[in-house]
Amino acid sequence: MTAPKKLYIKTYGCQMNVYDSERMAEALGASGYVETGSPDDADMILLNTCHIREKAAEKVYSELGRFRDLKDAKPDLKIGVAGCVAQAEGEEILRRQPMVDLVVGPQSYHRLPEMEAKAGKGVKALDTDFPEEDKFERLKSRPKAKRGPTAFLTVQEGCDKFCAFCVVPYTRGSEVSRPASRVLAEAQDLVERGVRELTLLGQNVNAYHGASDTGEMTLARLIRELAKIDGLERIRFTTSHPNDMDDDLIAAHGEVEKLMPYLHLPVQSGSDRVLKAMNRKHTAESYLRLIERIRAARPDILISGDFIVGFPDETEEDFSQTMALVEAVEYGQCYSFKYSTRPGTPAAERAQVDEAAKDDRLQRLQALLRDQQVAVQDRMVGKEVGVLFEKPGREAGQMVGKSDHLHSVFVEGEGLSPGDLRKVRITRSASNSLAGTLL
């Protein structure tokens, strides 16, 4: 019997890339590949890239350079680049790194088996099209292997918002929602294989409007349908845009027990002047009023967000308005970054803020966000939360899982297994995690 070929995938960036990497591995499974944890053992190396962070493309080229000796030692080794950097720089990647055998964009990875066969014949393979066919429909059904207790499920891709700093509309394309029947069928299949928590993914997930037998289905309606699946205990979704938080989705947070009290809702800035320059199409005040409505529907909800500091022409007064918004919201978790240019986006052509000013503002913002996160975690001590256990902890007899609010929780207890959902009393708050005892 022929030994299986080995596939090493390195995933960069967001949860959607994690989901995409899973599906790429499944697609290449049809060509006889099984995954390996080491590039040294691989017959194919695939870098699934992200274009959001600073100097993303250069980091990919640097990573490829590390594989040059390995490629020299194993001439039959296939190397591929996938994802958003591949979409943005496909031909340039093949020009700068001739050892790369295939380049595939995020909308075309269902074609990987054909591309791999082409590369196997010594022909470079490039596919960065936005194909008309539905890649999810063309992918093989997921194998029936047992799954861990949590999984990602892509329901929506692309974005039509065209924020001035963002490359997503250019690398992922316009907003497309998967048909509700296919999402529900994939969710049912995942639950049957052991999944108890699903995180619904989309570049702008709350813009979901999937076709269904009863007409177009919104994200709120989809969540209500998913909640009917026996064995599915928890539902989350990310990432959202404030302009697409409709009344029904807000109500669902208070009405659907399986929808967890955690919401990632990026605002990016607290300055209306900067928000307008970013083309965000909301104001700081409208965002704050939206948070009030969400908390009225679900008082215990934990709010997470994103911030960009040092956006072109941002002044100290603009930044002070961001700090004021953070004070008003009190985030439980947050992600904050210095602005960095993305070629081809409108903001890349504007006057840039001094790097020292960016550094200073980021440090002040992150200090405030850290204080808020610590305060939110400290208030959890003494409370009862649900914890879905996922894996053993660092110490013997310890298990770690995620709380309803997405905090990591460490518990010592005999007989706990991955997939157990138990009530826990929080006894201690530590850096970026909580500890508790079983009830």
The annotated binding site for [4Fe-4S] cluster is made up of: 14, 50, 84, 159, 163, 166
Locate 176 and state its tokens.
Answer: 């497309």
Q: Which of 231, 205, 214, 211 is nearest to 137 (CA)?
A: 211
Q: SS3 for 337-374, per residue?
A: EECCCCCCCHHHHCCCCCHHHHHHHHHHHHHHHHHHHH
DSSP tag of 242 = G
Annotated binding site: 14, 50, 84, 159, 163, 166
Mapping DSSP to helix (H, G, I), strand (E, B) and coil, where does residue 222 land? helix
d(C-alpha 223, C-alpha 152), whole Å: 14
d(C-alpha 3, C-alpha 33), whole Å: 10
Q: Which of 245, 226, 255 is nearest to 153 (CA)?
A: 226
Residue 327, classified by CB atoms within 10 Å of its CB into exposed (0-12), middle (13-18) or buried (19+), is: exposed
Contact between 433 and 381 under an 8 Å Cβ cutoff? The reply is no
What DSSP letter does each residue of 112-181 carry, written as one string?
A: HHHHHHHHHTT--EEE----SS-HHHHSPPPP-----SEEEEE-EE--S---TT--HHHHT-S-EE--HH
d(C-alpha 20, C-alpha 9), whole Å: 11
In the block, which residue shows the tokens 């590949």? 33
How long is the chain? 439
